Chains A and B, each alone.
Chain A
Amino acid sequence: MRRGTTIYLYELAWILPSIAIPVGMLVALIVTAFGAGIHVPGDEGRVDPTKLAVTSPFDQPGVFEVGPGRYEARMVAGTWFFAPNEIRVPAGSTVTFVATSKDVVHGLFIPKVNVNVMLLPGWVARVVARFDRPGEYPFLCHEYCGIAHHTMWGKVIVEPRS
């Protein structure tokens, strides 16, 4: 009987922190997501993957200035390219990437600025990143997309403000 009671207390002493730890971590990630504004991609609607050439904004891939210091990169991914594959913006710019795939599943990954989004044919992806430091930021396809997957990349070139 006594042994049973001891075991019960040991269990309880472990169970309570085991609940507290995940709850604490959950609070931390809610704060960073909705307090600090670090979001994951959401639902931005669909697009017909077989009609990208005639569907705005993917009929004109490129980089467009949409406001002071704000740019929109309209991108199409395909085997095995990004269009555009070079994006030039001045330092301090905020870039919204609006992207999709024209064939299989691809990814758009820019390390260090937390651009990490899947590009699915039929679905519009939209993510925002800020580029403060001048330099080259390679972006790569990070989902297996066929035999030349490892050649699919491009770069954001952030130019110093003169």
Chain B
Amino acid sequence: MRTSGGRTTDLASENRLTGAYLVVALVALFGGVLTGLFQALEHAGLDLYPWLTPFIQSYYHGLSLHGVLNVLVWTTFFICGFLPFVTAQALGLPLKSRPLGWVTFWLMTGGLVLAAIPLVGNVATVLFTFYPPMKAHWAFYVGLTLVVVGTWLVALNLVLTHRAWRAKNPLARTPLPAFMSLVTFVLWTIASLGLAAEMLFMLIPWSLGLVGGTDALLARVLFWFTGHPIVYFWLLPAYVSWYTLVPRQAGGRLFSDPLARVSFILFLILSTPVGFHHQFTDPGIPEGWKLVHAFLTFAVFFPSLLTFFNVVASLESGARARGGKGWVAWFGKLPWGDPSLAAQVLAMLLFAFGGVGGLINASFNLNLVVHNTSWIPGHLHLTVGTAVTLTFIGITYWLVPYLSGRALWSRRLALVQVWFWFFGMAIFSNALHRLGLMGMPRRTMIGASVYLQPEWRSVLPLVGIGGTILFVSTILYFVNIGLTVVASREPAAVEVAFAEALSGPEHAPAILDRWGLWVAMAVVLVVIAYGPTLARLVSTTPLNAPGLRVW
């Protein structure tokens, strides 16, 4: 319950919806981490796959499960539960359409089940990137498409809810948490058009046998049209927490509300026309267009740096209010005993390395050194695997008690879990980065590879050790969350309280709330960056590569 304009708004239905999304997200997290453990152990020389049949029929079957569950399902379901929750809380309004909210949830869950059946049955062992002409069962593509359609309905509900708020508040600035949630979903809606086109016009008709062939390059261009901005769809909800909740958890205030809005608008404009930086080594795309995308990728670095400054300055305001001193020493004065805050600050620390690595990946010809080596999963375990995942874990340390009304079962266990993740990931990711620089490929059953190099052997055990620590961390997490829900007897003392700002929304120019302009700029940049290449490929591609099952 919370008050808004003198009226009390009952958000119990929204809370239940968030809880439902959270259950699916956590099941996916667990399944993905479990399959991930077997991969890490395999790299360290402990091949458990012979004992895992018939559940996991090969290394690559497990790898497909790991990628789809962790990178697609866990993130998407968490976000579709969390951002509507944040928006409703910040606006003090229920979702515009609760029935639509629940229909959306069941559509997404139904799609997930449809995709999971072939995935679990080893007839969609195509990894989370599902590059054709490798061909999965049609239900895999149709199911994932339904999940994407569901995310559009979440976006629609948020836009309608914001409109209802705007009608009552014609002159006010949109509250920052709601503003950021909307930007995230508008960004995603634009970005997801590539994936939707790939599914609807290529993969689904082809997997159903309606068309005979496909084209690897056109499919990859459409996939990465969505595939880079999807990382912002995962990351920006973590930023929502870092900007609007973490400063208060740290005992301080958000440094600058207008700067936060500027950085989100820049993400909206710049995050889609950058996908070729995943295709620097692809044939069929002229070098000049790749350079344009490299340039735009460097431009997206700018709002990331703004975020870095703003969030760290907010943390510093909290630490100084708690007696922190010095240029750096204040860092120790953060409330490290709060597992939710500790999780998110540690996520930020590792993300700094992820950001630097991301710049290296984006650096055009420097990408030749790292592309498709284990450097890349090393990188994305710092970004989606830590900046996003550890932040989401930190959020659940207050969100689950809030939704269930029960206090967190053990704060100490949660702290242990968080530090285990931090150290486990530091070891795991560092090892993968180093192995990548030694020329070890990603997505490969390395222990069984015929070209295993002697110099890799000294580092490979660290992959297994880091992965095991991460798995233990996850078990501690699920024990704690499970006991919170079933065994905790203490009532939760959690309120959703957004941070105030040192420089508040009253300093934000009104133009930042004008959506048409920013969306138009985003679309124009997409058309410039992708238009010529897509037009050429669509008009000239013969779609003549037949599909194959190669696993």
Binding site for B on A (CB under 8 A): 3-4, 7-8, 10-11, 14-15, 18-19, 21-23, 25-26, 29-30, 32-33, 38-44, 46, 48-50, 79, 101, 103-105, 107, 109, 111-112, 114, 116-126, 138, 140-147, 149-151, 153
Contact = CB atoms under 8 A, between A and B. Distances in A.
Given A18-B306, A104-B550, A122-B545, 17 more contacts: A18-B305, A25-B359, A41-B280, A43-B283, A49-B545, A50-B545, A101-B216, A104-B134, A105-B216, A116-B367, A120-B216, A120-B217, A140-B451, A144-B443, A147-B550, A150-B444, A153-B451
Interface string B507-551: 100000000000000000000000000000000001011101011
A111 B439 CA distance: 5
Nearest to A40: B280
Q: Which of the listed residues A29, A40, A111, A124 has the most CB atoms from chain B within 10 Å of its own CB?
A: A40
B373 interface: yes
A149 B444 contact: yes
Interface in B255-299: 255-256, 259, 279-287, 290-291, 294-295, 298-299
Nearest to B536: A43
A37 to B, nearest CB: 9
A25 B301 CA distance: 11
7 contacts: A3-B502, A8-B503, A23-B298, A38-B368, A42-B290, A144-B60, A147-B550
A126 B294 contact: no
Nearest to B374: A142
B325 to A, nearest CB: 19
Given A22-B301, A39-B365, A122-B217, A7 B445 contact: no
A120 B282 contact: yes
Nearest to B295: A26
By DSSP majority rule, is chain B's interface helix, strand, loop, or mixed? mixed
B364 A142 contact: no
A74 to B, nearest CB: 15
A118 B223 CA distance: 15
Given A29-B366, A33-B364, A121 B545 contact: yes
A103 B546 CA distance: 8
A9 B309 CA distance: 13
Given A120-B216, A146-B551, A151-B450, A40 B365 contact: yes
Contacts of A124: 283
Contacts of A151: 449-450
Interface in B388-443: 438-439, 441-443
B313 interface: yes
Interface pairs A-B: 8 shortest CB-CB: A111-B439, A146-B550, A142-B441, A18-B305, A150-B449, A120-B216, A142-B372, A22-B298
A7 B448 CA distance: 57
Nearest to B439: A111
Contacts of B438: 111
B281 A41 contact: yes
A44 B287 CA distance: 11
B301 A50 contact: no
A15 B259 CA distance: 10
A103 to B, nearest CB: 6
A52 to B, nearest CB: 12
Interface in B478-512: 502-503, 507
Nearest to A155: B451
A150 B447 CA distance: 9
A21 to B, nearest CB: 8
Given A29-B294, A29-B364, A122 B215 contact: yes
B336 interface: no
B290 A40 contact: yes
B368 A46 contact: no
A124 to B, nearest CB: 6
Contact of A14 (B63, B284, B309, B367): B309
B550 A103 contact: yes
Which of B284, B294, B359, B507 has most A Cβ within 10 Å? B284
B332 to A, nearest CB: 22
B502 to A, nearest CB: 6
Nearest to A48: B544
B58 interface: yes
B215 to A, nearest CB: 6
Nearest to A119: B283
A11 B544 contact: no
Given A3-B502, A26-B295, A150-B448, A79 B550 contact: yes
Contacts of B102: none
B248 interface: no
Interface string B108-148: 00000000000000000001000101100000000000000
